[in-house]
Amino acid sequence: MAMDTGAFLSKLEMVTTSDHSSVVSMNLFVALLCACIVIGHLLEENRWMNESITALAIGLGTGIVILLTTGGKSSHLLVFSEDLFFIYLLPPIIFNAGFQVKKKQFFRNFMTIMLFGAVGTLISFAIISLGAIHFFQKMNIGSLKIGDILAIGAIFSATDSVCTLQVLNQDETPLLYSLVFGEGVVNDATSVVLFNAIQSFDLYHIDSVIALQFIGSFLYLFITSTMLGVLAGLLSAFMIKKLYFGRHSTDREVALMILMAYLSYMLAELFYLSAILTVFFCGIVMSHYTWHNVTESSRVTTKHAFATLSFVAEIFIFLYVGMDALDIDKWRFISDSPGKSVGVSSILLGLVLVGRAAFVFPLSFLSNLTKNSPHDRISLKQQVTIWWAGLMRGAVSMALAYNQFTRSGHTQLHLNAIMITSTISVVLFSTVVRNHFISL
């Protein structure tokens, strides 16, 4: 056939090993993904393991093998890019979460989720930023600009919703799942507003006008992002209902749903909105309206195809993170000043714990005041789980922190190394105590 002919010609033309070595890594990566699925399934009944930890472990193992065979030069198979992550891996995960979320549970707790996601994140942000300024000056770890400190505050005050999906189970703990995951989605909007504020407002002169501006821009961002997702969902429902009336085509319906959901995500990126919020609400609306207008086979296909996409994307991330954890540069950096690194990561972890405690318990108390039936209230045990589950820093935070902080100067590289060591500890630790959560 004409096409492969050309592929072959180009292969002969280049004769570059770089092209062929990228084929080698893709093969290895796909084979490892298969291995993760099979081994993860076999280990499913083991209470200490799940697919993410399997992927993490296999990634670590592969990293070690690659390190040894390349003589310590590299532990990577693929170069991780932010684009790959934010444009291809994250959208299916968040969309599927919206698509499969228990809507009744989610909307019943909507006010509590908003409280946690908006007010709670601000409280946490303030505490972490102030604490970081206080402790880092004492530790003398180099000159950190006020913007850097606030960025740390913003990154650490936000929960990692992909990790939450791994830790909490929707069927076993529906209330906790909707609260913690919902908070993760809503506080994405808060983070975007926070970063806007850090960049554009004069932070040394905070007065009531700026506070109002801040609230205004949060509401604007939250409402526009949500509306965009809802509109995309409704539009897909309308198109499928109106245009395809009388003659359905499963392939076209499924393709339209996927493309419209993806379009909503990319449009939100285009207008600097919170793409996560948009695609999450798009998923909710699609599962509520569009899904009921398609054929039976489209329903089965979308339900499983979206779950599969999200499943593979998650494994992909964990596999990568496992390999990335061995990146030799990071460890070399840490080994220069191990004491300081442990100190900084403990302080950050401590601040995150205090910051979350400072809003989970008071806001849960407030939320409980508005509930009449004791069934709807958040018990103290559940509050502890929310406090703890929101601490999870998983693949996403790690990949992000890595991509975020390596571009700038020396201090950042140090922070990066610290971020990664603390993240790996937290991810491993949180999975070990995972079954404890579920029994709560």
Binding mask 65-104 for its own copies (x = CB under 8 A): -----------------x--xxx--x--------------
23 binds its own copies (CB under 8 A): yes
CB of 230 to its own copies, least distance (A): 17
Half-sphere exposure of 286 (CA within 13 A, CB side): 34
CB of 141 to its own copies, least distance (A): 21
27 binds its own copies (CB under 8 A): yes
Helix extents (H) in 289-379:
296-324, 328-336, 338-370
Closer residue to its own copies, CB minimum distance, 139 or 223: 223
251 binds its own copies (CB under 8 A): yes
CB of 376 to its own copies, least distance (A): 26
Closer residue to its own copies, CB minimum distance, 266 or 440: 266
CA 130 → CA 127, 145, 146, 151, 354, distances in Å? 5, 13, 10, 12, 12
Nearest CA to 344 out of 414, 404, 393, 399 is that of 414
41 binds its own copies (CB under 8 A): yes
Pick from 210, 239, 349, 384 the residue near its own copies by CB under 8 A: 239
Pick from 5, 18, 372, 373 the residue near its own copies by CB under 8 A: 5
CB of 380 to its own copies, least distance (A): 26
Total residues interacting with its own copies, rule: CB under 8 A: 92
Per DSSP, the three-state class of 158 is coil
Question: What's the sign of the alpha-carbon dihedral 108, 266, 254, 95?
Answer: negative
Name which of residues 130 to 189 contact its own copies (CB under 8 A).
151, 154-156, 158-162, 184-185, 187-188
Pick from 70, 137, 143, 199 the residue near its own copies by CB under 8 A: 199
Pick from 130, 210, 230, 312 the residue near its own copies by CB under 8 A: 312
Closer residue to its own copies, CB minimum distance, 252 or 288: 252
Contact between 270 and 181 under an 8 Å Cβ cutoff? The reply is no
Contact between 301 and 250 under an 8 Å Cβ cutoff? The reply is yes
Part in contact with its own copies (CB under 8 A); list of ranges 129-137, 306-314, 324-332, 410-418: 306-314
| Residue found under tokens 């905070």 | 206
Nearest CA to 158 out of 188, 192, 118 is that of 188
Q: Where does residue 93 rank: exposed (0-12), middle (13-18), buried (19+ CB within 10 A)?
A: buried
Helix extents (H) in 244-274:
250-270
311 binds its own copies (CB under 8 A): yes
Name which of residues 265 to 284 contact its own copies (CB under 8 A).
266-267, 269-270, 272, 274-276
Nearest CA to 286 out of 237, 321, 328, 319 is that of 237
